Structure 1
């Protein structure tokens, strides 16, 4: 039987919901329409193992199979300036609310394959050190079982995401005010600032090693 969230975790959850911008009411994403709007995305997210060089070298995240609501909230955050990465801000700023909803719907369904098995129900156990770090960060309270079943679709699946990307993302929350790579999410900032960079890397390496629903789907021009 699953335990109820503690009052502290419940408060964090409510704060986290408020921290993610809601998708505009009445805007429904169309995956088919989204397929025609991803030209600016595929140059990075459509190449397996593609690496960004800013703010440091890391693999760009796998986004096929990610929750549409989360993708939409991320793009809105870049558009508002809550996330500071210049390239992503420029791309998000060029999109309408309908564009964002369509692109998000496309990427949510692009990782699905009929008959494909779900990630393993019982992931490999982390080390004692990583277990303590994950418990301290209360990561599962939002990202859910195996870190792939978020309690709300506005939160990301993170199991199997590239470890180097996870590490850079976590550091961005620690430096949320930085004008070119900060991320202004108070819940994630509060979590990340508890840890040293070495501890964040240890957590990122474990979470990234898990089975995943996330993928990079190569575009035909990049195969």
Structure 2
């Protein structure tokens, strides 16, 4: 299965690299972040539509991944009404600058050890193996093999669960994510299994943060 996925992963990485090839300016990104801080700058802020979950922490996330995600929202490969509207207003340079800003934003980030500090229960370990999560996201779920892949460790568990479900969703105009790699990884998981995976990964130490920001800067 892994050999089958390698060409797909390579093509996705090439597309992400192309979309993030612009010079990144974190200072410029700070000035463009006003549209982001109303959700991503409030600790534990919870989205209510189209599903209820905490909005993801993005400070400390890899810049290539942020560009890739924004591009997917803009193209409609990720279906979320609010994010689609925001991404539609961004130029490639805007995305590059915002990504650089959020990657550099946390000042207290400490690198995580190569392995998680606590191992999952045996049933969850089997699920992680079944979904082959570490193959892309790294053994500690915060050191992805390609920077266009997100850090997951310590991300909000309810958000991770909603994201996993989205890769299985078809034909919904407001929910869903088109990604052949993730679709293949989670295609055979039940909702209960996805929730177990999300709860374990969300319980791990994280390099991600929600950095509280003022609208009046």
Give the TM interval when normalised to the shorter protein: over 0.9
> How far is the alpha carbon of 1:145 from its aligned partner?
2.3
| 1:213 partnered with 2:207 | yes
Q: Select 1:118's aligned residue among 107, 111, 122.
A: 111
What is the alpha-carbon distance in structure 2 between the residues aligned to residue 208 and residue 155 of structure 1? 17
Task: Tell me how large the CA RMSD over aligned residues is.
Answer: 1.7
Number of the residue aligned with 1:3: none
- Specify every segment of 5 or more residues in structure 1 that has no aligned partner in the other structure, as ranges: 1-7
Number of the residue aligned with 1:198: 192
Number of the residue aligned with 1:71: 66
Number of the residue aligned with 2:41: 46
Mapping of residues 163-182 of structure 1, within 5 Å: 163-182=157-176
Distance 1:150 1:97, change over 3 A: same
Q: Deviations over 1:18-63 (max 9, x none)?
A: 2364344751111010000011100000000000012221100000
1:202 aligned counterpart, secondary structure:
helix
| 1:14 partnered with 2:10 | no
2:167 aligned counterpart, secondary structure:
helix
Which stretch has the larger CA shift, 84-93 or 171-180?
A: 171-180
| 1:59 partnered with 2:43 | no
Q: TM-score, length-normalised on structure 2?
A: 0.93
What count of residue pairs does the alignment treat as equivalent? 213
Q: Which runs of 4+ in 1 moved over 3 A?
A: 23-26
Q: TM-score, length-normalised on structure 1?
A: 0.90
> How far is the alpha carbon of 1:189 from its aligned partner?
1.1
Number of the residue aligned with 1:184: 178
> How far is the alpha carbon of 1:120 from its aligned partner?
4.2
Number of the residue aligned with 1:5: none
What is the alpha-carbon distance in structure 2 between the residues aligned to residue 35 and residue 106 of structure 1? 6
Number of the residue aligned with 2:133: 139
What is the alpha-carbon distance in structure 1 between the residues aligned to residue 20 and residue 39 of structure 2? 30
CA contact (8 A) 1:176 1:189 kept: no
What is the alpha-carbon distance in structure 1 between the residues aligned to residue 41 and residue 144 of structure 2? 24
> How far is the alpha carbon of 1:177 from its aligned partner?
3.5
Distance 1:183 1:176, change over 3 A: farther
Which stretch has the larger CA shift, 189-198 or 130-139?
A: 189-198
> How far is the alpha carbon of 1:192 from its aligned partner?
1.4
Distance 1:191 1:58, change over 3 A: same
What is the alpha-carbon distance in structure 2 between the residues aligned to residue 27 and residue 219 of structure 1? 26
- Specify every segment of 5 or more residues in structure 2 that has no aligned partner in the other structure, as ranges: none
